[in-house]
Amino acid sequence: MIWLFDLDNTLVDRAGAFEAWASGAVAAAGASADDLAAILEVDEGGHGSKEALARVLIDRLGWADDVPGAIGRFRTGVLERVRLYDGVLFSLDVLRGAGHPVAVVTNGTSAQQRGKIARCGLDEHVDAVVVSGEEGVAKPDPRMVEIALDRLGVADVDRREVWMVGDAAHADVAVGRAAGTRTVWVSHGRSWDGPDRPDVVAPTTREAIALAASPPGAVLS
């Protein structure tokens, strides 16, 4: 099997890192719980417009920064606080140890996403990294999957031998479907409320991997 993983909120806790940073920024500005709620809402777990988030931060926290400056501030805050989910490296190592190629397929800027990967020590635990900001395309464009498979040296593999794992239905599940792979949705306790349920749904990435690898010949126990 081939394993393609989203980065934010799949391998690393980007949402938790942003909330921790935002809580500190709100406290430093003497702002309120309502301000924090507004900031978290517009962030959309990392999927919201960065420009819109910057404007809310400037407005709610009284920053003197312009929009690019505010974007830089919160990106730095996330990068300083981001952490891997527990057990993720172990699961990746088990997959690779069994001969299963592993790649990260992530939307975002090169500096930010590569920075998270380096900070969390993911580099040595995956075989390839595909970042939308480096490729000129982004999930759910299926070219992101095709680039990853090419980097792994398996461009001609049967797409049903490929798992796309991620937390975002509109990006990760959608790109897997567009590329014809199997899909794994990391729910973080949410309910799937649309049609066409993914092949595997699990609350955490480790549980998702275990379920996806559970048929005969599974590599995880």
Quickly list DSSP for 135-161. Answer: HT--TTSTHHHHHHHHHTT-TTS-GGG
Say what the pLDDT of residue 116 is. Answer: 98
Say what the pLDDT of residue 218 is. Answer: 44
Residue 139 CA: distances (Å) to CA of 7, 169, 179: 12, 11, 10
- H helices of 163-217, in order, are 174-179, 205-212
Say what the pLDDT of residue 195 is. Answer: 83
CATH code linked to domain 2-13+85-212: 3.40.50.1000
The reply to whether the predicted model has a pTM over 0.75 is yes
Return the H-helix or E-strand segment holding 116.
helix 110-119
29 residue type, one letter: A
Q: Where in the chain is the domain with CATH 3.40.50.1000?
A: 2-13+85-212
Q: If the chain, 221 residues long, is cut into consecutive pieces of 10 residues, what is the mean pLDDT of each piece?
A: 98 98 98 98 95 98 96 97 97 97 98 98 97 98 98 97 97 97 97 91 96 64 35
Say what the pLDDT of residue 193 is. Answer: 87
